[in-house]
Chains A and B, each alone.
Chain A
Amino acid sequence: MIFDKRSLLLFVSNALLLHLMLMINSSITFAGFNLFVLGPIFIIAPLYLRADQFFITSLLTGFWVDAALPTPFGLVTFLLLTIGSFILLIRLRFRAEKNFHPSLLAHVANLIAGLTLLYFSVSTNFADFVVLLSTSFIELAISHLLLLFVAPWFFNFQRSLFSIFDTKTEPESLPFV
């Protein structure tokens, strides 16, 4: 297995997005809401990397996010691996070098991850989850509005990192693995 430098670049950029999000959330507590824009961290690794490198990136990113967020340890890692594996299987259908498909995927991943973390934040009590879902609707809506701007910026940033560090800028050639 030859180590792909892009794994490390993606991990660092994912950690950066997480810390930016947490910094903003920490500063806007007067508004009493959190932004959740972690969708983009799920996307570029399965679209660009080989399966083994995708697993390394997802594991590192997952453990990093799990340690930073008050979630059960391993939950985000599980989500990253599951959603990523699914994207990896069907990545032929997406145009990874443009922002349209990755942004759409980021919104779907963000929604799935947001709802899963919301469910686990109320100690898996379904009745509480339904009540919380209604109150968190505004937060989710604002997060997805913000994601319309954040996701394309983030994907361009990750592609720029590939160019700056002189790595392969195209997705891995077919076959997938």
Chain B
Amino acid sequence: MARIRLDRLTPIVTLIVFLFIWWLTPSFIKLFTQSSFEEIQAPIWIATNQLETIANNTANKTKSKQVLIDTISELKRQNAYYKQIKNINENYKAEISRLESILNLPSRDRFRYELAHVIQRNMGSWWQTIRINKGSKHGIQKGDAVIFIGGVVGRIAKTNYYTSQVDLLSNHSFRISASFINDYRPLFYQGKGTDLWGQPKGRIKNAPQDLTTDSAKPLQLVTTGLGDTFPEGITIGLVPWLEPDNTGMFQAGEVQLDKRLLGVKEVAVLIPFNRIETIDHDF
């Protein structure tokens, strides 16, 4: 019988010893290791984003003057339009404040908006996340809501000092209470990743039986404001069809998300003015 060379088993023994040590290692040491590596990488992500910006600027320099003049004219028109809307909004805000003070109501301004650039995107079957260039230094914490021009983007999953990771609306772990516009009955939304053609999608459950929708005029799904993370009425997506769910008491359906979510560049993080501190049970 051939003798077994024990020295050949050294890698396996070392692996088992390492796994045993890793299992016994206190959580705070693992957390410290993770944070250290993430903080070391943060400048790399920001530098990569800067390189992308430089590349885009260089590409823009190749455009003709006429194209730039046309773009500026268009931006001027849009700027004038948004200035008018801003004035109207300020009037509305003043009116709301006046009524709140007369009726002794609490203020409706519950969030501060922290604008951030998207510096990295992971959108595919494996992950549905983005990384932004604002972190705990700017007051962002895990669980904060993230929105963009098309509605909900997602929720902060992890914060570092200068960067944060956001779980997108289409992420499998993203769940939220939602409702259809002008219908205040809450239902359950969950992200479902991307389909075969790479489009982000979600799914709703517990929709009331009396609701009907069709692909020509789909129902709009919005946030309910329950849970105090997202304000009420922020767009989630469109629901083109509904079908009875497995209980037979409610309806379920697929949610088409905004296609701009795939190329999102600028987002706003909603930071509550009166944050309720919660204990993080991750570690």
Contacts and interface: CB of A to CB of B under 8 A. Distances in A.
Interface of A: 19, 22-23, 25-27, 29-36, 51-52, 54-55, 63-64, 66-70, 73-74, 78, 81-82, 84-85, 88-89, 114, 117-118, 121-123, 125, 128, 132, 135-136, 138-139, 175-177
B20 interface: no
B121 A29 contact: yes
A136 B126 contact: yes
Size category of the B interface is 35 or more
B75 to A, nearest CB: 23
Given A73-B30, A85-B15, A122-B172, A32 B197 contact: yes
Contacts of B8: 89, 175-177
B248 interface: no
B202 to A, nearest CB: 13
Contact of B262 (A29, A121, A136): A29
B18 interface: yes
Contacts of B12: 85, 89
B7 interface: yes
A63 to B, nearest CB: 5
Interface of B: 5, 7-12, 14-15, 18-19, 22, 30, 33-34, 37-38, 40-41, 44, 48, 52, 120-127, 129, 157, 165, 172-173, 193-200, 262-263
A34 B126 contact: yes
A23 B55 CA distance: 13
A139 B195 CA distance: 11
| Dominant SS among interface residues on chain A | helix
Nearest to B18: A81
14 contacts: A25-B124, A29-B121, A51-B14, A54-B11, A67-B41, A70-B165, A81-B18, A84-B11, A118-B126, A135-B125, A135-B194, A139-B124, A139-B126, A177-B8
A121 B157 CA distance: 14
Contacts of A74: 22, 30
Nearest to A120: B126
Contacts of B10: 51, 176-177
Given A32-B123, A135-B195, A138-B196, A64 B37 contact: yes
A130 to B, nearest CB: 13
A63 B198 CA distance: 29
A106 B153 CA distance: 35
A62 B213 CA distance: 48
A29 B194 CA distance: 11
B263 A34 contact: no
A22 B122 contact: yes
A54 B124 CA distance: 31
Contact of B125 (A30, A34, A123, A176): A34
Contact of A123 (B22, B129, B172): B172
Contacts of B14: 51-52, 55, 85
Contact of B48 (A19, A69, A73, A89): A19
B125 A33 contact: yes
B172 A31 contact: no
A16 B195 CA distance: 30
Nearest to A55: B14
Residue among B30, B129, B194, B199 with max Cβ neighbours from chain A (10 Å): B194
